[in-house]
Structure 1
């Protein structure tokens, strides 16, 4: 499947992105981990190499399932995950990122978003200017870049 650059970054994403909210199982019934893993692997085999998840989806369960399903092909997929707005203090962002890295079974996250509104994205962007963590790469999902804030 053809990929395109995400904004002005060097990250290449597929036009179809696998979303994994249901994989977290919270608020959903009948979701089986084995079927989710099979679906993620089938998506990858079909050429979908971009996966969206979040620490809040099932309190990290979704990230864990993504990591379990795609660890063997990690160098061929793009992980986009999100920090939740109740983790915006400096130490909380670092802790959340480290939790996501562990859940995803990886040493880097391709795009780290804030799962909420613009005001909170601006707060995170300011804090990310101060954060130096080898696994966390901040990217606002809105038009604001860290340099513009």
Structure 2
């Protein structure tokens, strides 16, 4: 495993970080708690020491699973990345979506990051995670009700109190990162980025490179699409949000799989899977510090971690990018 520091901080994280959204079950058609705990532990054993979670993933379930998985591990050898700013228990802020919890009960999700809410959410996360500090505390989404400076004054207070080590953002534009950074040093921005979604290369990547901030790429495998294992007509479990997404419709799946077959020889020559190749390509892109990879069980985690071991030449990357430009 390779480790990289976030921004100008001394926080080193594994280039392949465990993404615990699916572990929470929410929007992924449920979860198997025991397998998720084992998946996180297996990651630690092969050097995947960083875990990214959020309160909203299963409305506390994901954080509880992470807490259970790390309780017997040395705390200073594990990096916990969690979030704040999405409430399902409070009708305040911007309505983000109508949804259902893991039991099927209807819930409304709000984006809200008022001062008192940030402090409250941190306390709840610490309890669920079973720890007294969070390594990286990230606002989950921008919201329009609370001024950015107010939100990050609360984050700065948490940092002063030692409850969090570093502050970060998710889904922020370059200008929003810059605004937050005036109040509290921001070390990273977690955003969607994959072979199929490269929008951030235009503005955010140059900004982060120039200002020495890290980019954490989420959904680098487009929730499984870039593994090559999803075929046209794939049947998703009830509650799995992927079934309604345009990129998961048969025509799109067919086009992506044809591209994957073209780059598969690069994986084959190293005895690697397509998923491993995709993850390695992601962390080799300019400005990208780490890639988040979810897993349902220990074997998937171990396979994800092996992506860091692949060797990609500039010719490999040029070929992949050339084929991508044809899509």
Superposition TM-score tier, normalisation by shorter sequence: 0.7 to 0.9
* Structure 2 spans left out of the alignment, 5+ residues: 87-110, 184-327
In the alignment, which residue of structure 2 is the partner of 1:29? 29
CA contact (8 A) 1:80 1:113 kept: yes
Deviates more, 1:93-102 or 1:132-141: 132-141
Unpaired runs of 5+ residues, structure 1, are none
Quick one: which of 168, 176, 199 aligns to 1:140? 168
| Distance change (3 Å), C-alpha of 1:129 and 1:66 | closer
Alignment partner of 2:167: what SS? coil
Q: Distance in 2 between matches of 1:106 and 1:115?
A: 20
Q: Which moved more, 1:120-129 or 1:90-99?
A: 120-129
Aligned partners of 1:87 and 1:96 also within 8 Å: no
Q: TM-score, normalised by structure 1?
A: 0.87
Question: 1:115 is matched with which residue?
Answer: 140
Cα contact 1:3–1:12 (8 A) shared by 2: yes
Bigger mean CA deviation after superposition, 97-106 or 28-37: 28-37
Larger Rg computed on CA atoms: 2
Distance 1:21 1:139 in 2: 20
Once superposed, what is the RMSD of the aligned Cα atoms? 2.3
**Inter-partner Cα distance in structure 1 for 2:27 and 2:129:** 21
Q: Deviations over 1:39-82 (max 9, x none)?
A: 11111111001110001111111001001001221221100100
* Alpha-carbon contact 1:128-1:138 (below 8 Å) kept: no
What secondary structure, in the 3-state scheme, does the structure 1 residue paired with 2:168 have?
Answer: coil
Match of 2:84 in 1: 83
Q: CA deviation at 1:147?
A: 4.7
1:65-104: CA deviations, max 9, x gaps?
0010012212211001000244412111111001100111
C-alpha contact (below 8 Å) 1:64/1:104 kept by paired residues? yes
Do structure 1's residue 128 and structure 2's residue 162 form an aligned pair?
Answer: no
73-82 or 111-120, larger mean C-alpha shift = 111-120
- Cα offset, 1:133, TM superposition: 3.5
- Report the Cα offset of residue 129 of structure 1: 3.8
Equivalenced residue count is: 149
Aligned 8 A contact 1:40 1:66 in 2: yes
3-state SS of paired residue (1:140) = strand
Change (3 A) 1:67 1:130: closer
Q: Deviations over 1:89-142 (max 9, x none)?
A: 211111100110011110000000001138679342244345553313451235
**TM-score of the superposed pair, with normalisation by structure 2:** 0.42
| In structure 2, distance between residues paired with 1:31 and 1:111 | 25
Instruction: Report the 3-state secondary structure (helix = DSSP H, G, I; strand = E; otherwise coil) of the residue aligned with 1:68.
Output: helix
